Amino acid sequence: MATALDGYFRDQLLERRRRISDLGDGAVAHGHLSRLLAEVDQALARLDDGSYGLCEVCHDPVEPDRLLADPLLRFCLDHLDDAEARNLEADLALAARIQRGLLPAGVVRAARWEVHSLFEPAGVVSGDYLDVLPAPSGGELLLVLADVSGKGVSAGLLMAHLRAIFHGLDGAGLPVADLLGRANRLFRQTTLAPYLATAVCARAGAGGEVELANAGHWPPLVLGGDRLEPLPPTGLPLGVAASGRFTAHRLALAPGETLVAFSDGLVEARDGADEVYGEERLEQVLRGAAGLPPGDLLAACMSDLAAFTAGTPRGDDLSILVARYTGEASPERPS
C-alpha cells in the first residue's frame, strides 16, 4: 500500500531504529533491544515491498489513526493477536475507570435540590457528559448534560474535553446563555471539524428558579402535578457555528417539581422489532412517576425502558439527570 504517508512512516521507523541502536550502544547484547530492532527492520522491509500498513490476516489497511500512533502495527482491530487484544482491553478498562471518576456522585443534595444521575455507556466509554456543580456559596448549582457526536474512545476524549471547558467556565458566574456561547467557541476552536455536541446547561437556585439554555439537545422536561413542560433548543449544537448564540428559558419550580434531562440513548432506544422508544412513551412514564421520590422516578424510567427493549442491545450511550427541587435545606452532615 504505497501512500503519501510512506515517507513519513519511513522517517519514523528510521528515527526509531537510530534511537534503539543508541540505547544498545553499538553492541546488540540485549535480547529485548534486538527484538525491537528486528521489528523495525521488518516494518522497513514491508515499506519496500509495498505491504506496509496492511493487516497480515485480512490484507485490509490497518486503521490509519492506530498506525500513526504505532507504526509497527501489523494487524487491523479485527485481527489483533492475543497479547495485543489483551493490551487494548486493559487500556479501555482503564479509560472507563478514568471516565467514571469524571462523573458526579449518583446523588447530589445541594442548594435545596436533590439530583440523581445515571450514566451507562453503550460500549466501554461514553460520549455523554453529565455534571452537577454546586456553587461554593451553596446558593445554586450548575447542571450539565451533553452528548458528543460519535461513540467510543474518540467521543470519550471529547467528553473529557467538554467537561474541562465547563469546569473552567463555571466559576465565572455567567448567565447560562453566555456560558454556552463561550463553551461553543472553545469547543469549536479546539476540536476537529466534524465533531459536535448537543448540551443542556441549567443554573438552579435555592428558591426553585431555573435558567436553562439548550444547545440543540432533546428538550428536557419539567414535571410536577399536571405540569409537563418541554424546554426546546435555544441555539444550535456546540461546534456548529463560530458565532453560536443562545437564549435561555427562565422558569420557577415549586417544591416537589422536577427537571429531567436525558440523552438520545433513552428516547431513541429500539426494541427487537426496531421500534423507537420515543418521547411520547417517556412522557407517559414521567407523568405516572412525577409524585415519586427522584430516585424512584429514575428507576421507573429505567424499568420501563428495560421492559420496552426487552434485552435488545443498546446502540447509544445513555444518561439521565433527575433534579428535584425539594425546597428544603439538606440535613447537616454529621461531622
Chain positions contacting Zn ion, by CB under 5 A: 55, 57-58, 76, 78-79
Q: Write the burial class of residue 125 (CB in 10 Å: 0-12 exposed, 13-18 middle, 19+ buried).
A: buried
Residue 261's contacts (CB-CB under 8 Å, 6 or more residues apart) are: 143, 145, 200, 202, 217, 218, 220, 320, 321, 323
Between 66 and 287, name the residue whose CB sits nearer to Zn ion: 66
Which of the 8 DSSP states describes residue 117?
E
Alpha-carbon distance 265 to 272, whole Å?
A: 15
Alpha-carbon distance 294 to 116, whole Å?
A: 7
Q: Phi and psi (nearest 5°) for 82?
A: -55, -45
Report, in Å, the least distance between residue 57 CB and Zn ion.
4
Between 78 and 89, name the residue whose CB sits nearer to Zn ion: 78
* DSSP 3-state of 62: coil
Q: Which residue is nearest to Zn ion (CB)?
A: 55
State which amino acid sits at residue 143: L
Between 16 and 74, name the residue whose CB sits nearer to Zn ion: 74
Between 57 and 68, name the residue whose CB sits nearer to Zn ion: 57
Report, in Å, the least distance between residue 173 CB and Zn ion.
53
Cβ proximity of 335 and 139 under 8 Å? no
Report, in Å, the least distance between residue 55 CB and Zn ion.
3
Report, in Å, the least distance between residue 53 CB and Zn ion.
12
> How many Å is the maximal CA-CA distance in the chain?
82
Q: Write the burial class of residue 226 (CB in 10 Å: 0-12 exposed, 13-18 middle, 19+ buried).
A: exposed
Please choose, from the candidates 198, 191, 173, 196, the residue with its C-alpha nearest in 3D space to the C-alpha of residue 265: 198
Between 58 and 85, name the residue whose CB sits nearer to Zn ion: 58
Report, in Å, the least distance between residue 63 CB and Zn ion.
10
Report, in Å, the least distance between residue 59 CB and Zn ion.
7
Alpha-carbon distance 69 to 84, whole Å?
A: 14
Between 20 and 76, name the residue whose CB sits nearer to Zn ion: 76
Between 81 and 275, name the residue whose CB sits nearer to Zn ion: 81
Between 84 and 229, name the residue whose CB sits nearer to Zn ion: 84
Cβ proximity of 206 and 325 under 8 Å? no
Report, in Å, the least distance between residue 80 CB and Zn ion.
9
Alpha-carbon distance 87 to 94, whole Å?
A: 11
Report, in Å, the least distance between residue 90 CB and Zn ion.
21
Residue 92 CA, distance from chain mean position: 14
